[in-house]
Amino acid sequence: MKGYDLVDSVLIINRDLTELDLFVKDFLSIIEKHSDYLIVSGFVSISTGRTRATEDIDILIPVMNKKKFEILFNDLIEGGFWCYQGDFVENIYSYVKEMQNIRFAKKEQMFPNMEMIFIDKSKKAKYYEFNNPQKVKINDFEFKIPPLEFEILYKEKILTGIKDIEDAKHLRNMFKEILSEEKFKKCQIVIGEELENLKMK
């Protein structure tokens, strides 16, 4: 059997679920009840076959008001997760309000953890990928990642670490038959603007 298929725009990865997938699946089953999301960075490469270690899975979440966050937070705690930053919504929401990342792991476990990255329209590159998701399916586990073209360029042009360049190489080669030049051009504009913004900071 081939490593993957593209069926009705859904990327189907032909493999069994790993412990890492099950962790993410468990977390998303709670998140999906409360918010939209996008899984980004290392898990995109790993879920599509890159064999490397990771401690955290990055997830983009639109910033939310305190009431909504409190319900989500309590549901995560009831669902068997703990938050690195604290046990009380009062304290944790100050991170959310400031758009600082927070992390959750399974109770009595340290790694892996989910790193929640809060976004709004002001974070243009993240907002773009969030609004142009690519669906991935592994067995009965379905989740959303950025357009592959965006993820590749983001790793090559913005992150640029050794690990990121290797992840980008994996994605470029693994999916070269389905990558779109047109999408690369569109994503390049967004990435270019992001680079300019970073230079100005």
Partner 1 sequence: MKIKKIPQTNLDYIEIYTENLKENSEFFKQQKMIIDSQIKSSRSFFNNLFKGKDFKTEARKYLKERGLL
Site residues, partner 1 (CB under 8 A): 1-4, 13-16, 18-20, 23, 46, 49-51, 53, 82, 84-85, 87, 107-112, 162, 165-166, 169-170, 173-174
* Nearer to partner 1 among residue 82 and residue 127 (C-beta): 82
Pairing state between β 10-13 and 81-83: unpaired
The CB-of-97 to partner 1 minimum distance in angstroms stands at: 19
The CB-of-3 to partner 1 minimum distance in angstroms stands at: 4
Closest to 115 (Cα-Cα) out of 48, 21, 40:
40
* Nearer to partner 1 among residue 18 and residue 131 (C-beta): 18
- Bond preceding residue 112 cis, omega within 30 of 0: yes
* Nearer to partner 1 among residue 165 and residue 189 (C-beta): 165
* Nearer to partner 1 among residue 56 and residue 75 (C-beta): 56
The CB-of-196 to partner 1 minimum distance in angstroms stands at: 28
Q: What is the greatest pairwise CA distance in the chain?
A: 51
The CB-of-185 to partner 1 minimum distance in angstroms stands at: 24
The CB-of-90 to partner 1 minimum distance in angstroms stands at: 17
* Nearer to partner 1 among residue 85 and residue 188 (C-beta): 85
Give residue for tokens 């290392």: 42
Helix (H) or strand (E) holding 5: strand 4-7
The CB-of-2 to partner 1 minimum distance in angstroms stands at: 6
Who contacts 133 (Cβ-Cβ below 8 Å, separation ≥6)? Answer: 38, 144, 145, 146, 147
**74 contacts 87 by C-beta, under 8 angstroms:** no
Q: How far is CA 77 from CA 72, 99, 151, in A?
A: 9, 21, 31
* Nearer to partner 1 among residue 54 and residue 188 (C-beta): 54
**63 contacts 99 by C-beta, under 8 angstroms:** yes
